[in-house]
Structure 1
Amino acid sequence: MRRLPLLACLALPLLALAEEPVTEQPAQAAVQASAQPPAAHPELEQRLADSERQRAELAAQLAAQPAQQDNSQDEARIARLTQENQRLKLQLREAQANQPPRLLSEQQAWYVTGAGTALLAFILGMLSRGRRRSRREWIN
């Protein structure tokens, strides 16, 4: 019988129990970080204040930058793309107008293909028959 899959199913929980136990080192690291001397806190507060000041300066610069310049660039790009689109549509119409008319429609082309196949089959049948005339027994 199949004992291997059954044995594997029974061994999986044992392997899970045999894993290395989780230690509480992350909690200990958090306790040690909070127990650091208060001398590090003013430095962090100073860095935070500098970061906030830089953020405020950058936000002010961004607000002061003329938004109209961005809008005018977008409008110019849109106008250029619209012009190019119209030019391409005109070229497409001209190319379609200058295209020579088709000799046969798709339906006519399939009809001609079928007729050619039938004619070729008739000619090959006549050639494969040979020159001798066989007597037709059904006429008698």
Structure 2
Amino acid sequence: MRQGPLCLLLVMLSIGAPAHAEESSESGHSTPLSLSAGSQITELQQRLKESEQQREELSKNLQSADAERESTQLGHLRQENQRLKLQLKEAQANPQPRLLTDQQQWFVTGAGVALLALLCGIFASGGRRQRRQWLN
């Protein structure tokens, strides 16, 4: 006989014997396994109840913290709203006639800058006129 199939046969027999031994040992402990599973189930149910209670307490604490934070923000917003209302009343009570709108003010500012640049250019040339030729 060849050595290849003989080695394969020995390996299969060595693996099969422990597997058969495990099956018989598991069938012998089936009753205590069900008892331990039942105790684990009750323990897990108790832990679930405790976790639910802790979750509810934490959610209540979070809601109360959110309510406190919102109440402080609400107070700040109310104070700012009152301050802005007072500013609005003061502005309406003392109407200052505006000569120019914002757009007109920007136009006047740009014209002033252009005029200033023109004057600087005239004074920088020294007031003398020279003919400058661009081409020879």
**Normalising to structure 2: TM-score of the pair?**
0.41
Greater fraction helix: 2
**Normalising to structure 1: TM-score of the pair?**
0.40
